[in-house]
A = this chain, B = another copy of it.
Amino acid sequence: VSPTRSLSLRDLADAIGASLIGDADRVVDRVEEPADATAGALTFVSNPRRSKDIFSTKAEAVIADFDFAAEQAHEVPCAVLACENRYLAFAQALQLLYGTLDKEPVVDERAAVSSDACLGERVSVGPFAVVGKAVIGDDSKVGAHVFIDDDVVIGERCVLQPGVVLLHGTRLGDDIYVNPGAVLGGEGFGFAPDGDLNIKVPQVGGVVVDNHVDIGANVCLDRGAVSDTVIGEGTKIDNLVQVGHGVKVGDHAVLIAQVGIGGDTVVGDHALLAGQVGVVHNVTIGRGARIGAQSGITRDVPEQAAWSGYPAYPHAQWLKTSVHNRHLDDKLKKLTRIEREHKARIEQLEAELAALRDLVRGGREEP
């Protein structure tokens, strides 16, 4: 990916709110890993395992936190930009160096835009996109091959990457980014049993996504059965996630790749579901709860709880079980061996006691 701007360290430090240790006139124009960096590069220590590379980097400057700067700035062969939150500062630096140069927004003449569509200012629409009777807010970008059905509303500054599908009843807020292949508003999986058959229950709810949500590639957000499927503000959804009909995900939640959530379930604000977690329908995951990877949630999870396993239970308890599980053969064998020993000693005692009793009785009868 090509960078789009260059900045002096002075300007960069100002922009990201960092304290600069080093030559303020040096210029950076791209980001590289510590080990690969060359002159003109900005770098960053993201992976602690690779952090030793920073002491021999050829980068111009490194973003670090105050602790690192205080202790190790003198050992680093480049300028140091010391910050409170190095992740945030790095994100801001990337936005500065790689931010897209605004292209002139254009509605491609090969797009099929309905005459009933209502497009805001500076909306761009890519080739072969289809836009039905929909509303699209200012500065939103509709990629190539995107399908926007009738009865869809899209806010401002949204980005729909190529191949995204928004079916009728979908409502997007502002500043939403949707990666390629995501499907919003697909039929929920609703079937009524009729003897041996399954009759489809029409799904008449929509999909409502609040501001600042990110949606990964090939994600599926089903429409609601009756009430809408809802994704709260600032929530981040990774690739290949499945969200069933009528699910309510709160604000600032995080759903890592390949998570699956059953119909009508509620996921609280700030909850985090790690990769490949499955959740049954109709349960509630409390605000701030953290669910371990691959766990299966079968009942309500309390607020702020950390749960793991399938069926899931508190993470600390699960960790103990995991350790036992790994050594279960040894543990059970040891228990069995000890019991065999006990049995032998008990039998020995029984025999000796009987012998002694005989001896005592014999002795008493004898005289």
Contacts and interface: CB of A to CB of B under 8 A. Distances in A.
A107 interface: no
Contacts of A55: none
A129 to B, nearest CB: 9
A186 B217 contact: yes
Given A33-B226, A239-B186, A278-B294, A204 B130 contact: no
Contact of A239 (B220, B324, B350): B220
Interface string A305-331: 000011101000100111011101101
Given A85-B194, A165-B163, A332-B324, A346 B353 contact: no
Given A91-B199, A127-B130, A1 B151 contact: yes
18 contacts: A1-B168, A91-B200, A91-B201, A98-B202, A130-B144, A143-B147, A161-B167, A163-B181, A179-B186, A218-B218, A220-B257, A242-B258, A338-B343, A342-B342, A342-B343, A346-B346, A346-B349, A349-B349
A62 to B, nearest CB: 12
Interface in A165-203: 165, 167-169, 177, 179-181, 183, 186-187, 189-194, 196-203
A244 interface: yes
A217 B328 CA distance: 39
A328 B321 contact: yes
Contact of A130 (B145, B218, B338): B145
A88 B193 contact: yes
A115 interface: no
Contacts of A108: 112
Given A183-B180, A198-B236, A338-B339, A36 B227 contact: yes
Contact of A94 (B91, B95, B204, B242): B204
Interface of A: 1-3, 30-33, 36, 44, 46-47, 49, 85, 87-88, 90-92, 94-95, 97-99, 108, 110, 112, 126-128, 130, 143-145, 147, 151, 161-163, 165, 167-169, 177, 179-181, 183, 186-187, 189-194, 196-206, 214, 216-218, 220, 222-223, 225-227, 234, 236, 238-240, 242, 244, 252, 254, 256-258, 260, 262, 264, 270, 275-276, 278, 280, 282, 293-294, 296, 298, 309-311, 313, 317, 320-322, 324-326, 328-329, 331-332, 335-336, 338-339, 342-343, 345-346, 349-350, 352-353, 356-357, 359-360, 363-364
Q: Which 9 A-B pairs have the closest CB atoms?
A: A87-B192, A94-B202, A320-B329, A186-B217, A147-B162, A91-B201, A183-B217, A220-B239, A165-B180
Given A165-B161, A356-B360, A311 B321 contact: no
- Name the residue among A1, A49, A336 with the largest chain B CB count within 10 angstroms: A1
B127 A189 contact: no
A324 B1 CA distance: 52
A193 to B, nearest CB: 7
Contact of A240 (B206, B238, B242): B242
- Name the residue among A169, A242, A356 with the largest chain B CB count within 10 angstroms: A242
A157 B320 CA distance: 52
Nearest to A96: B202
B180 A161 contact: no
A234 B33 CA distance: 26
A162 B161 contact: no
Given A234-B197, A252-B197, A328-B325, A293 B280 contact: yes
